Amino acid sequence: GAGVSQTPSNKVTEKGKYVELRCDPISGHTALYWYRQSLGQGPEFLIYFQGTGAADDSGLPNDRFFAVRPEGSVSTLKIQRTERGDSAVYLCASSLTGGLAGGREQYFGPGTRLTVT
């Protein structure tokens, strides 16, 4: 079956611009996660959705970052007024449920490489 997909695979934008990154989770997965991975680092948690609601957004670095999942499936990560420090690979993952306390396997997408010039 289809895995997690993310679009675009690469995005180059100028400092100060707005970007949207899209994630299509595995069908039927209710839990969805966004991570940011900088060069030489592990994935850094940004936000977790259970269904349509953001159950934990404590990893969003500031109010320029926002994510939505209006119908409980596709999610969009939105970054306003981009800065060079936002350059990273943004990963999306989904799992069958996050309700059982994080013990479920997460299936990762290939990521979107964001470069802010």
Query: DSSP of 14-60, one letter per residue?
Result: -TT--EEEEEE--TT--EEEEEEE-TTS--EEEEEEETTEEEE-TT-
**Residue 42 interacts with another protein (CB under 8 A)?**
yes
> Which residues neighbour 87 within 8 Å (Cβ) at sequence distance 6 or greater?
114, 115, 116
Q: Which amino acid is at 44?
A: E
**Residue 101 interacts with another protein (CB under 8 A)?**
yes
Q: State the minimum distance, in angstroms, from the CB of residue 14 to another protein.
A: 26
State the CB neighbour count (10 A cutoff) for residue 38.
Answer: 13
**Residue 33 interacts with another protein (CB under 8 A)?**
yes
Query: Which of 73, 75, 106, 112 contacts another protein by CB under 8 A?
Result: 106
**Residue 66 interacts with another protein (CB under 8 A)?**
no
What gap in Å lies between CA 88 and CA 56, rounded to an integer? 21
Report how many residues bind another protein under the rule CB under 8 A: 29
Specify the residue, 109 or 114, whose C-beta has the smaller distance to another protein: 109
Under the rule (CB under 8 A), what is the footprint of another protein?
3-4, 31, 33, 35, 40-45, 48, 50, 55-56, 58-59, 91, 93, 98, 101-103, 105-106, 108-111
